[in-house]
Amino acid sequence: MKPAAFAYSRARSLDHAAELLASDDSARVLAGGQSLIATLNMRLDAPRLLVDINGVSGLDDVVERNGQIEIGALVRQADALRSPAVARAAPLLSKALPHIAHPAIRNRGTIGGSIALADPAAELPACLLALGGEVEIAGAGGRRTVKADDFFRGLFETALDRAEILTAIRVPAASANMRYGFAELARRHGDYALVGLAATARADGARLADIRLVYFGVGATPVRARAAEAALAEGGAGGLEAAVTAVASELDPDDDIHASGRTRKHLAGVLLRRVVQEMREAA
Ligand SMILES: Cc1cc2nc3c(=O)[nH]c(=O)nc-3n(C[C@H](O)[C@H](O)[C@H](O)COP(=O)(O)OP(=O)(O)OC[C@H]3O[C@@H](n4cnc5c(N)ncnc54)[C@H](O)[C@@H]3O)c2cc1C
């Protein structure tokens, strides 16, 4: 199928992008286009104006400062995967990125596009939440920062206002005592996951503390499994079993054509065992 007719403007700056977005209430930001163009082609959306932000400078840097790593919205997923700074300071992202689609899509798809789209089955939103990261936003009203905990609001719904631009994400830089775990189950490598899990924890001797477990593909947003986190934090021999039981009762995934909710709950427990083992075994 072909998209409905639309106008196209290439923004010269963030202010120009904000101005263009404010000029038409159907306008959409165009970043890598890997999801947006498919949506237009299927006529699931018909904006009158696309605002291309690819010419806006300063949105494709990776910078480490003040104990954080900042990744610009226009950094391609493939470039983030090749970045030594991302591998060193945000190893959870490096674990997750190879699971996003295929190389051709990662070559164009952007970090900011994935976070702004907020697909509930996507890897990066769950990682951002597991890392306790934040999102930088610019718009006509100025700039603001939103914590990942407050950013994902509903199905494909975020804290971004319609005429705002996500400019970067920031996450705490990795330190020696932090542990990161990532696993997902997809029918074929590169497909969206049936269920996935991104996790972080602080190693406290042999114990894992400050555990954050964030599932994707099980709800309208990335979902923190707080009861399972608490069960793991209590530790002891039964901690993991209690956490697997807790996950099955606190997650409430829907049935769909790919898997039943019951199957997804079971898979969530399988992933939990794998991810906890990965974090415990990390040197
Ligand atoms: C076949 C296929 C398989 C895929 N598999 C996966 C997968 O397994 N996992 C996964 O996570 N993703 C997957 N994707 C999606 C891919 O990762 C996209 O690149 C990503 O979701 C969107 O990034 P983009 O830069 O292409 O954004 P675009 O398609 O340009 O934009 C997506 C949406 O976000 C908005 N947007 C984009 N950037 C900004 C910004 N900076 N500020 C404000 N709004 C913005 C756009 O207006 C649009 O609504 C797949 C895509 C395809 C086509």
Q: What is the pLDDT of residues 111-134, one digit of tens each?
A: 999 999 999 999 999 999 999 999
Mean pLDDT confidence for 162-184: 97
pTM: 0.97
Predicted local distance difference test score (pLDDT) of residue 41: 96
Comparing CA positions, the residue from 183, 175, 181 lying closest to residue 200 is: 181
Residue 1 pLDDT > 80, yes or no? Answer: no
pLDDT reading at 260 higher than 90 = yes
Comparing CA positions, the residue from 240, 182, 245 lying closest to residue 208 is 240
Ligand 1, atom nearest to 190 Cα:
8
Tokens 């306790």 locate to: 132
Residue 136 has pLDDT above 70, yes or no: yes
Residue nearest ligand 1's atom 1 by CA: 101
Among 8-22, 40-54, 137-151, 237-251, name the one with the lowest average pLDDT: 237-251
pLDDT bin (cut points 50, 70, 90) of residue 235 is: confident
* Average pLDDT estimate for 70-87: 98
Give the closest residue (by CA) to ligand 1 atom 23.
113
Ligand 1: atom nearest CA of 101 is 5
CB 95 less than 6 A from any atom of ligand 1? no
Residue 283 has pLDDT above 90, yes or no: no
H helical segments located in 49-169? 77-82, 84-89, 91-96, 103-108, 111-117, 123-130, 148-151
Expressed in angstroms and rounded, the spacing between residue 129 Cα and the centre of ligand 1 is 18
What is the CA angle 144-146-151, rounded to 5? Answer: 135
- Taking the CA atoms of 156, 179, 189 and 194 in sequence, report the sign of the dihedral they define: negative
Two tokens, residue 19 = 């101005």
**Structural contact between residues 129 and 224, judged by C-beta atoms closer than 8 angstroms:** yes
**What's the pLDDT band for 172 if we cut at 50, 70, 90?**
very high
CB atoms within 10 A of CB 64: 14
C-alpha neighbours within 13 Å on the C-beta side of residue 198: 28
Tell me if 225 CB under 6 Å of ligand 1. no
- Residue 205 has a pLDDT of 85
pLDDT of residue 165: 98
Using the mean position of ligand 1's atoms as its centre, give its distance from the Cα of residue 10 in Å: 18
Q: Is the dihedral of CA 248, 211, 239, 227 positive or negative?
A: negative
